[in-house]
Structure 1
Amino acid sequence: MKIINPNHITGPLLVVLPKFIGDVINTLPALELLSKLYPEQHIYLLARPHLIELLQKTTIPNIEIIEDNRYTKGQEQSLWHLASRLKGYRFSFALLMRGSLREAILCKLAGIQHVIGYAQNLRSGFLSHTLKLNPCHHYIHRYCRLVNDTHGQPFDTYSAPKLRSSPLKSPLPDNSTLKIGLYFGGQNKGSRHYPKELAQQVITQLTKQLQCQFYVFGDQSESQDNACLQHAHYHHEIQITDLSGKTTLPILIDSIAVMDLMISIDSGPMHMACAVGTPCIALVGFGTSPWSIVEPKNDNFITIRSNSTSLIESDIITSITPHSIVKAALRLLNR
Structure 2
Amino acid sequence: MCSTARCSGTTHSAGVRTPGRISIRWTGWSARSIESPATSSGARGGSPNRAPRWLASSTALTTRMRVAVWKPSATFCQASVRPRKPIRRPGRLKITLCGMNSPTAPQALLVVAPNWVGDVVMATPTLAALRAGLPHTRISVLLRPHLADLLAGAEWCDETISWPTHRGLRREAALLRLARRIRERRFDAALLLTNSFRSAALVRLARIPRRIGYARDGRGWLLTDAVQPSRTNGRFTPVSMVDFYARLSRRLGVTVTQRRLRLCVTDAERREASRVLRAHGVDPGERYAVLCPGAAFGAAKSWPAERFAVLSERLAAEYSLRVVIAGAPAEAELMRRISSAAQSPVEVLLDPGTTLGSLKAVIDGAAVAVCNDSGPRHIANALDVPTVALFGPTDPAWAVYDAPREVLLRELVECGPCQLRVCPLDHRCMTRITVERVVEAIEKLAAVAHDSHACRTEAADAHIRRRETAGGGEGDAA
TM-score calculated relative to the size of structure 2: 0.63
Question: Any stretches of 5+ residues in structure 2 without a counterpart?
Answer: 1-98, 231-236, 416-423, 449-478
Spell out, residue by residue over 1:42-78, the C-alpha distance to the aligned partner (whole angstroms, 9 max, x if none).
Answer: 1111111111122214x23443101111546997453
**Greater fraction helix:** 1
Selected match of 1:241 from 322, 342, 347: 347
The answer to whether the 8 A contact 1:16-1:97 is kept is: yes
Which residue number corresponds to residue 214 of structure 1? Answer: 323
Where do residues 186-205 of structure 1 align in structure 2 (5 Å cutoff)? 189-205=298-314
- One-letter amino acid of the counterpart of residue 222, structure 2: F
Question: Any stretches of 5+ residues in structure 1 without a counterpart?
Answer: none
Distance 1:130 1:269, change over 3 A: same
Spell out, residue by residue over 1:213-244, the C-alpha distance to the aligned partner (whole angstroms, 9 max, x if none).
Answer: 101011122112211222233xx4x3321114
Which residue number corresponds to residue 28 of structure 1? Answer: 124
Distance 1:82 1:319, change over 3 A: same
Distance 1:159 1:166 in 2: 23
- One-letter amino acid of the counterpart of residue 381, structure 2: C
Deviation at 1:302, TM superposition (A): 0.3
- SS state of the match for residue 324, structure 1? helix
Aligned-residue RMSD, C-alpha = 2.4
The answer to whether the 8 A contact 1:186-1:225 is kept is: no
Where do residues 213-292 of structure 1 align in structure 2 (5 Å cutoff)? 213-233=322-342, 236=343, 238-244=344-350, 246-287=353-394, 290-292=395-397
Which residue number corresponds to residue 114 of structure 1? Answer: 210
Selected match of 2:248 from 130, 136, 146: 146
Aligned pair count?
Answer: 325
Higher RCO (CA 8 Å, separation ≥ 6 residues): 1
1:50 maps to 2:159: no
Distance 1:229 1:309 in 2: 29
The answer to whether the 8 A contact 2:301-2:392 is kept is: yes
The answer to whether the 8 A contact 1:219-1:244 is kept is: no
The answer to whether the 8 A contact 1:119-1:130 is kept is: yes
Q: Which deviates more, 248-257 or 313-322?
A: 313-322
The answer to whether the 8 A contact 1:17-1:24 is kept is: yes
Distance 1:129 1:28 in 2: 22
The answer to whether the 8 A contact 1:308-1:317 is kept is: no
The answer to whether the 8 A contact 1:283-1:303 is kept is: yes
Distance 1:111 1:95 in 2: 14
Which residue number corresponds to residue 412 of structure 2? Answer: 307
Deviation at 1:142, TM superposition (A): 1.0
Spell out, residue by residue over 1:99-127, the C-alpha distance to the aligned partner (whole angstroms, 9 max, x if none).
Answer: 11221111111111100011222222111
Q: Which deviates more, 300-309 or 154-163?
A: 154-163
Spell out, residue by residue over 1:192-216, the C-alpha distance to the aligned partner (whole angstroms, 9 max, x if none).
Answer: 1111122222222333421111010
Which residue number corresponds to residue 435 of structure 2? Answer: 322
Aligned-pair identity (%): 26
Distance 1:71 1:21 in 2: 20
- One-letter amino acid of the counterpart of residue 195, structure 1: P
Distance 1:123 1:74, change over 3 A: closer
Distance 1:52 1:144, change over 3 A: same
Deviation at 1:176, TM superposition (A): 5.2
- SS state of the match for residue 132, structure 2? helix
**Greater fraction strand:** 2
- One-letter amino acid of the counterpart of residue 101, structure 2: I
Which residue number corresponds to residue 160 of structure 1? Answer: 260
TM-score calculated relative to the size of structure 1: 0.89
Distance 1:70 1:186, change over 3 A: closer
